[in-house]
A and B are shown apart, each in its own frame.
Chain A
Amino acid sequence: MIVVIAEQRHGKLNRATWETIVGAQQLATATSTPIAVLVPGVNTAGVASELAAAQVQEVVTLEHAALEPYTPDGFTAALQEAVTQLQATYVLLPHTYQTRDFAPKLAARMDRALVTDVTGVKSGSGQTAFVRPMFQGKLTADVVPQGPAPHFITFQIGAYRVDQVAKGTAAAGVRALSIDLDASVIREKPEPPFQQAKQAVDLSQAERIVSVGRGIKEQANIAIAQQLADALGAEIAASRPICDAGWLPMERQVGSSGQTVAPKLYLALGISGAIQHLVGMKGSSTVVAINKDADAPIFEIADYGIVGDLFEIVPAIIEAVKA
């Protein structure tokens, strides 16, 4: 059985789960294995019936009071039992922050392979390999998990498109799995999530974004990017290191830890294109990359690229826009 572990909070499904189901369907075809979607937590009924629309063998709920709020100890104990009961050959998860928090622990406890941040599945010649970025996206690897099943795989956010999911002709069956979970094994005491500051800037609605990365070199140079943004009628944004350094406020950060954007135009200045950044902007319709390094991963997803010194090119663009 291929087991997809859905992510939900308070009855609201994390949409990355659907992407993982697309990956599961691809793997199911390659290995002729049925899919079960496992929904851990409390109040799972709504999410379970939503997921039953997918072309999968079954949806299995895993309800236990000790699974809300999320803790790595609670999830590890519960999922070890569930994955074992379901006789999983593969366990697939979206590569969310929550998955990153418990999946390595679960795989280690079961002493099974875990391949993280996967963007694709390759099958053939008797083995299934999982494609993942390495070296900050400068290289790609085909990785084959070793040792006995189940193998744990996490899929990068955005690796598959939600609209590619195959829907079943009828809703899949939903059943509940019961487990014994001793809540005293849980050592972590989580407090409710909060937002640090009111997000004054909603970059997700921006039509055009000029975004700066390490290539901007120093804080004073942000002004050049701001001038370009003004000329294009764009919002200014940045990759994480720029916000870490305090050169732009955190609320202007694009990427997995910041905002997810999908503007008509995303112009990346001196951004190399680490995965954590790309997941936040790869839904943009037109991507322009300006970078001195012709091999920078940002060029892999750019529609237009200029290789060169941004300090020469940006003033020239401002001039050309105004001309």
Chain B
Amino acid sequence: MKIAVCIKQVPTREWQPRLNDDKTWIREQDASFEMNEPDAYALEEALRLKEKHGGEVIVCSAGPARVAQVIREALARGADRAIQVEDDGLASADAFVTSGALAEAMREDSFDLVLTGLQSDDQGFAQVGVILAERLGYPHATIIMEVQVSPSTLREPQGHPEQGRGTTSSGQVGELRVKRELEGGWFQWVAMPLPAVLTIQSGINQLRYATLKGIMAAKKKEIRKVQPSPATAPKQKIASLYAPEKGKKTQIIGGSPAEAAKELVRRLRDEARVIS
């Protein structure tokens, strides 16, 4: 199976936001970045599918030059090669622009399966995977917690030492069965033909970390750089970006841990009356 994984580089969880001068984006120079967490689960799922069924995992990312960091990390964890769509404008791009750039760069590879995280921890659109499916003409399913590929659909690796690398899809129609998460603890199995796009939910598997051997091997792996053609017109504009307005008047209780704890308990008893 030829599996693509789309990953995004996002600010770390510890990052404290600072805005640029016109308050329409963040000050990138103050941020440190990491792999978007749901995308890390998508990568892990792709690596597990490859281990089970054979094939190739190709990591794809669209962003400024800095995304090379998460591409290297993905290669170190076991992806075979990468496609990097590089443009500074992609740092703050909307989902239409990002998925357009990815679709264009990915089309010629004719992937059997495309995985990505269900949403990104930066802009959080939860759109790119689904729009990518529409652009590639593939069916899709979102918020996936289990992936089953039926054995009859696998492409035979025999006689293809590079396992399909550089070749296009055989056109063989395969089938996929996935467990989709619904709200409130409900799930649903959905079957669909390959090729397909899935957006992966965090927690679908346990993540692996890169080994030293993996890190060394990653240095020799191919990263194909692609310039996006004159971009799709943006579909949304950030007019302003700001710190959230507080919905409630939060009473911050100060003092030493003991003092704060005592005061909190007093207020919960006497003011809020929620404990006895």
Q: Say if A and B assemble together.
A: yes
Contact partners of A112 in chain B: CB under 8 A = 235
- If A116-B127, A139-B241 touch, whether A195 touches B264 (CB-CB below 8 Å) is no
A104→B276 CA distance, assembly (Å) = 49
For A193, what are the chain B residues with a Cβ–Cβ distance below 8 Å?
182, 186-188
- Contact between B190 and A259 (Cβ–Cβ < 8 Å)? no
Check B134 for interface membership: any CB of A closer than 8 A.
yes
A319 interface residue per 8 A CB criterion: yes
Contact partner, A138, options B17, B95, B99, B141, Cβ 8 Å: B17
Complex alpha-carbon distance, A129 and B234, angstroms: 15
A179 — which chain B residues lie within 8 A by C-beta? none
Which residues of the partner chain A approach B190 to less than 8 Å between Cβ atoms? 188-191
Which among A47-55, A85-93, A168-176, A310-318 touches the partner chain?
A310-318
In the complex with contacts A101-B130, A317-B261, A321-B265, A297-B244 CB distance below 8 A? yes
Closest to B246 in A: A300
Are A308 and B260 touching (Cβ within 8 A)?
yes
Name the A residues within 8 Å of B192 (CB-CB). Answer: 187-189
A142, B245: Cα distance in complex, Å: 12
B246 and A320 within 8 A (CB): no
B238 at the interface (CB under 8 A from A): yes
A251 closest partner in B (C-beta): B185
**Bound CA–CA A96/B180 (angstroms):** 13
Is the pair A134, B241 in contact by a Cβ cutoff of 8 Å?
Answer: yes
Is A115 part of the contact surface with B, judged by Cβ < 8 Å? yes
User: CB-CB < 8 A to A12: which residues of B?
Assistant: none
Given contacts A303-B248, A316-B257, contact A187 B262 (CB under 8 A): no
Q: Which residues of A have CB within 8 Å of B8?
A: none
Q: For the complex, is B212 an interface residue (Cβ under 8 Å from A)?
A: no
SS class, residues of chain B in contact with chain A? mixed
B264 proximity list for chain A (CB < 8 A): 288, 304, 306, 317, 320
Quick one: closest B residue to A244, CB to CB?
B203
Whether the Cβ atoms of B126 and A116 lie closer than 8 Å is yes
Say yes or no: is A307 at the interface (Cβ < 8 Å to chain B). Answer: yes
Report A-chain residues with C-beta under 8 Å of the C-beta of B141.
72, 101, 188
Q: Contact at A265–B241, with CB atoms within 8 Å?
A: no
Q: Does B96 contact A (CB under 8 A)?
A: yes
* B201 at the A interface (CB under 8 A): yes
Query: Complex Cα distance A23/B110, Å?
Result: 42
Bound complex: CA of A145 vs CA of B127, how far in Å?
15
B236 part of interface (Cβ distance < 8 Å): yes
A141 touches B268 (CB 8 A): no
Residue B217 is within 8 A (CB to CB) of chain A in the complex:
no
Q: Give Cα A112 to B127, complex, Å.
A: 13
Closest to A298 in B: B250
Q: A140-B245, A146-B236, A191-B189 are in contact. Are A135 and B127 (CB under 8 A)?
A: no
CB closest chain-B residue, reference A313: B257
Say whether B127 contacts A305, CB under 8 Å: no
Q: Are B241 and A196 in contact (CB under 8 A)?
A: no
**Interface: B51 (CB within 8 A):** no
Query: A226 contacts the other chain (Cβ, under 8 Å)?
Result: no
Interface residues of B (CB under 8 A from A): 11, 13, 16-17, 19, 26, 95-96, 99, 118, 121-127, 130-131, 133-135, 139-143, 180-193, 201-203, 233-253, 257-258, 260-262, 264-265, 267-268, 272, 274-276
17 contacts between A and B (CB under 8 A): A72-B141, A100-B130, A113-B235, A135-B123, A136-B121, A141-B239, A142-B238, A144-B236, A146-B233, A187-B193, A240-B202, A257-B143, A265-B272, A286-B268, A287-B248, A300-B247, A304-B267
8 closest A-B pairs (Cβ-Cβ)? A244-B203, A316-B261, A104-B130, A113-B235, A312-B257, A187-B139, A265-B274, A104-B127
